[in-house]
Structures are given as C-alpha cells and as structure tokens.
Amino acid sequence: MRVCSLCNRLSQMEKRCPACGLLLADGGPVADYYGPYSPYMSRDSIERIADPRCIHLFYCPHCGFDTRECAPETEV
C-alpha cells in the first residue's frame, strides 16, 4: 500500500521559499483546508486532485508565501 510520506511523518519535504530562501513549513494536506471541490482552488489545483497523491500546503513562516505540492509516497 502506498501512503503519503508527509502525513505519516516518514519523510520531510525540503522546499525553500523563492522569495527569502527559508525552509517552507508543511501546513498539512490541502484537503484539510478547502475540501476537494472548493471554488477557491485554482484550475491547476483541481487538475492535480485527479492525481491520487496527497497534496500538501507549504508556507513560508517569514513572508507568507505558500504553494501546494504533491507529497512523496512511501510503500508500506
């Protein structure tokens, strides 16, 4: 079975803020914020939901930049 390695704390994403270079914090799965069919999701995000992988929100604690990334999966 494949699980989201971020939700299961198996690994960390090391992404850096393009504006200030700090490590982005993992805000958790995007579904926790909006639900899968929210009108607030961009078209790009809706297409990504067709991908079964878990999508996480990453944010910069310094400048507030945020981005959504497909989380890596781990075979368990």
Interface positions with Zn ion (CB under 5 A)? 4, 6-7, 17, 19-20, 29, 54, 60, 62-63, 65, 71
- Minimum gap (Å) between residue 13 Cβ and Zn ion: 10
Taking the CA of residue 5 as centre, how many other CA atoms within 13 Å lie in the half-sphere pointing to its CB?
A: 13
Contact between 57 and 27 under an 8 Å Cβ cutoff? The reply is: yes
Contact 72, 6 (CB under 8 A): yes
